[in-house]
Amino acid sequence: MKKYSKLEQDFQVRHRYQVHFTNDLFDYNNPLLQQLISASGAEQPVKVLFVIDEGVSKAHEYLTDEISAYARMYNNSITLAGKLIVPGGERVKNEREFLTTVLEEIDKQGICRHSFVIAVGGGALLDMAGFAAAVAHRGVRLIRVPTTVLSQNDSGIGVKNSVNWQGKKNFLGSFAPPYAVINDWNFLSTLDQRDWISGTSEAVKVALIKDPEFFHEICNMAEALKERDVEAMKKLIYHCARLHVEHIGGGDPFEQGSSRPLDFGHWAAHKLEQLTNFEMRHGEAVAVGMAIDITYAYLKGMIGAQDHGLIVQTLEHLGFDLQIPAHVDFEMLFEGIGEFREHLGGALTITLISGIGIKKDVHEIDKEVMSEAVYRVRNRMFVNQL
């Protein structure tokens, strides 16, 4: 036998990605969830463990009763293994006890690879519960039920799961597509104004890098969205979710390359969240991050004054104040560039735009110009206000 030999085999793993839109998911007259579980091919009835965001449970006081009634109604398909309620928000990703709690419950209830974890909550809860599902038994089936604008149009639509570690956002995580995502419009009705508005920044983000017509549609709907027009919000969420699904199908969903176009505005956003102890909502931080990056792009001659002004105006009309907290100085914020590169690996790649709907990756950042961009955003020296 030769001293060196090699075996090699190409293979593909096929995924079917489903995003459903509905009302009253747990009303027993709505068979959607039962049909999805029945179609899984697992022996019936299927064990199902619910992991529920505490804030959602409080805002929808009959939710756990509705889940129990639904499971009883469809007991030929569903065996309710438990309803675990844990905190939402970044706390659930920062404190390891909650990940441990979910894993222990998966073990205790005998959840196997033919069972389901159904996560009901905002993006942070979905991230943590999704990570637990991905590592238990090397992966149990997950259904995401996002309950915020941000999770219904962005963070819940994807293949990533994670928790924070050592102060670093999403340091521990996995790429594991959910069995399905179910957006129930009813959950949006109880959101406070900050959370209602916060998620719209991700729609602006994806429109700016992928779809100029969608961006101009957001411009026209901005005031209606701010004033909680439900039909306008449904339209925004559906269009944004569709763009994310298309990215999963045709882009780089497992981030094997060095570009993360859907993280436009996020190098600063992640650092702002960390530096404010996560008091700044993710969507609010993304809005500020985009304001910084489009100002940088303007100063570098990549976009014109008119586009810069229109983007800032749209963010403000949506209800964002684009404030950088006073205690966050430039050097502290700029550390986010290095952390962003480290998280992705390889050469630095920052997604900017060279026009509305035109993505442009850059591989180095002019620190002096970025300092000027941050100064201008901090002092509200936007093009349309100079």
**Which CATH number does the domain housing residue 139 bear?**
3.40.50.1970
- Is 164 part of any domain? yes
| Domain edge (last residue) among 161, 190, 219 | 190
337 and 207 assigned to the same domain: yes
**In the prediction, which pLDDT does 311 show?**
97
**Which CATH number does the domain housing residue 300 bear?**
1.20.1090.10
Distance CA 378, CA 221 (A): 27
**In the prediction, which pLDDT does 252 show?**
61
232 and 169 assigned to the same domain: no
Distance CA 337, CA 278 (A): 18
- Is 14 part of any domain? no
- Could you report the per-residue pLDDT of 131-155, keeping only the tens digit for each? 999 999 999 999 999 999 999 998 8
Dihedral of alpha carbons 295, 299, 304, 305, sign: positive
Range of the domain at 101: 19-190
111 and 138 assigned to the same domain: yes
- Is 338 part of any domain? yes
**In the prediction, which pLDDT does 343 show?**
65
How many domains does the structure of the chain reveal?
A: 2
- Is 6 part of any domain? no
Distance CA 101, CA 103 (A): 6
**Rg of the chain over all Cα atoms, to the nearest angstrom:** 22
Residue 187, amino acid:
F
Could you say which residues of the chain have pLDDT below 50?
A: 258, 386
170 and 208 assigned to the same domain: no
Nearest to 45 by CA among 74, 84, 83, 82: 74
**Cis bond leading into 212, ω under 30°?**
no
Nearest to 273 by CA among 194, 167, 154, 152: 167
Which two three-digit tokens encode residue 258?
Answer: 């060095």
143 and 234 assigned to the same domain: no
Q: At what angle do helices 230-250 and 212-226 cross, to 10 degrees?
A: 150
Dihedral of alpha carbons 104, 108, 113, 114, sign: negative
3-state SS string over the chain?
CCCCCCCCCCCCCCCCCCEEEECCCCCCCCCHHHHHHHCCCCCCCEEEEEEEEHHHHHHCCCHHHHHHHHHHHCCCCEEEEEEEEECCCCHHHHCHHHHHHHHHHHHHCCCCCCCEEEEEECHHHHHHHHHHHHHHHHCCEEEEEECCHHHHHHHCCCCEEEEEECCEEEEEEEECCCCEEEEEHHHHHHCCHHHHHHCHHHHHHHHHHHCHHHHHHHHHHHHHHHCCCHHHHHHHHHHHHHHHHHHHHHCCCCCCCCCCHHHCCHHHHHHHHHHCCCCCCHHHHHHHHHHHHHHHHHHCCCCCHHHHHHHHHHHHHHCCCCCCCCCCCHHHHHHHHHHHHHHHCCCCCEEEEEECCEEEEECCCCHHHHHHHHHHHHCCCCHHHC
| Domain edge (last residue) among 139, 159, 190 | 190
Neighbours of 372 (CB within 10 A): 16
- Is 7 part of any domain? no
240 and 145 assigned to the same domain: no
125 and 216 assigned to the same domain: no
23 and 162 assigned to the same domain: yes
- Is 302 part of any domain? yes
**In the prediction, which pLDDT does 258 show?**
45
- Is 166 part of any domain? yes
Q: Contact at 8 Å (CB) between 127 and 137?
A: no
Strands 168-175 and 160-165: antiparallel
- Is 1 part of any domain? no
**In the prediction, which pLDDT does 331 show?**
96
Q: Contact at 8 Å (CB) between 324 and 288?
A: yes
**In the prediction, which pLDDT does 344 show?**
66
152 and 201 assigned to the same domain: no
Environment class of 255 (CB within 10 Å of its CB; exposed 0-12, middle 13-18, buried 19+): middle
